[in-house]
Amino acid sequence: MHRTKIDLPESKRIPIVFLLNQALAGLIDLQLQAKQAHWNVKGPNFIALHELFDTVSADAAVFADSVAERIAALGGQAEGTVNVVGSHTTLPVYPVEIVAECDHIDSLSTSMASIGKSIRGAIGRAVELNDADTADLFTEVSRELDKKLWFVESHLHRNP
């Protein structure tokens, strides 16, 4: 850990940085999964999904940057390389061979729900460690992920 004048003791900052790095791995993985969907989706709703998947990727990148900056502010080391992300992400493996709209919607929404659940768990852990700022960051990310998940899942809805 690097020195900082933030008033959280190092004994609390270490597990918080661990939590943040777990979230960072998942968010970077989500960013890349959404790009995979963006580049490869095919079907009658192509342009709408192409653009939606791009916004999911862009939002995940913004969230990842905020998480990485929080890690640095706490004196930690942000771990965002492809090798680290690949070994630390808990998201389901994205099937690179799919092209159909419904397959991309299903796969991406599954990953979005997975990272959302993980981030919600991290909120509670950050509160236990008395880091309201990290809990607030996780809450913001969770809220926005849930909204984007709604946007993606809405494409699965069929009228009776």
pLDDT at position 37 = 98
Query: Distance (Å, rounded) from C-alpha 148 to C-alpha 109?
Result: 9
Q: pLDDT per residue over 5-59, tens digit each?
A: 999 999 999 999 999 999 999 999 999 999 999 999 999 999 999 999 999 999 9
Domains of the chain: 10-89+96-155 (1.20.1260.10)
Q: Find out whether 59 and 78 touch, Cβ atoms under 8 Å.
A: no
3-state SS class at 76: coil
Residue identified by tokens 């900052």 is 13
- pTM above 0.85? yes
Task: Write the CB contacts of 79 (distance below 8 Å, at least 6 apart in sequence).
Answer: 21, 24, 25, 88
Q: pLDDT per residue over 63-91, tens digit each?
A: 999 999 999 999 999 999 999 999 999 99
Query: Distance (Å, rounded) from C-alpha 67 to C-alpha 33?
Result: 18
